[in-house]
Amino acid sequence: MACVYVSIGSNIDKQKNIAACLQELALHFSDVVLSPIYESESVGFDGDNFYNLVARFTTKLTVGELNKALKAIEDKHGRERSGPKFSGRTLDIDILTYDDLVGDIDGVQLPRDEITKNAFVLLPMADISGDALHPELKVSYARLWFFYDKEKQKLWQVDLH
């Protein structure tokens, strides 16, 4: 079983789509651990605020199989792929890490570079696994968050209910 972290985000009907995603993950994986949900401004384009969180779980799926399963969840909940790369999303689920794999695995770059670039990924990682080490940098997520420029991206915790 591989330990996996995925980022989850939405800025279109975000409460409904995040809740639906969490239900889907609970159906497919038995040991899902969730970070708090954070709201932040969109990054890379002008758009509505996003809800973001990180989930940790174990799986027997390969990286490619997992990526395909996550894309199917996105599609089931109205993900539009024909628009610009940086645009509104009903649901966005990305594999952040898969055990300690590094490199291009089944077309997925691991670890995902967003971990250290975006507060809405790094803080949730630190929340649920602060002592875990980034597979490439070999630095804990808590330490990475401590040194992150918190003025760069504002985010605030929200309650989905």
Q: Which residue has the tokens 């989850």?
A: 8
Q: Tens digits of per-residue pLDDT, 16-27?
A: 999 999 999 999
Provide CATH code, domain 2-158.
Answer: 3.30.70.560
Which of 6, 15, 3 shows the shortest CA–CA distance to 90?
Answer: 15
The whole-angstrom distance between residue 26's C-alpha and the CA centroid of its chain comes to 16
Q: Which letter does DSSP use for residue 99 in this model?
A: T
What does the alpha-carbon distance between residue 3 and residue 1 come to, in Å, rounded to a whole number? 7
- What's the CA gap between 4 and 65, in Å, rounded? 13
Q: 3-state DSSP call for residue 49?
A: coil
pTM: 0.91
Q: At what angle do helices 63-76 and 14-28 cross, to 10 degrees?
A: 140
Using the structure block, give the residue that is written with the tokens 């590094």.
102
Q: What pLDDT, in 10s, does the model give residues 66-122?
A: 999 999 998 887 656 566 555 567 798 999 999 999 999 999 999 999 999 999 999
| H/E segment holding residue 77 | none
Q: What is the residue extent of each domain of the chain?
A: 2-158
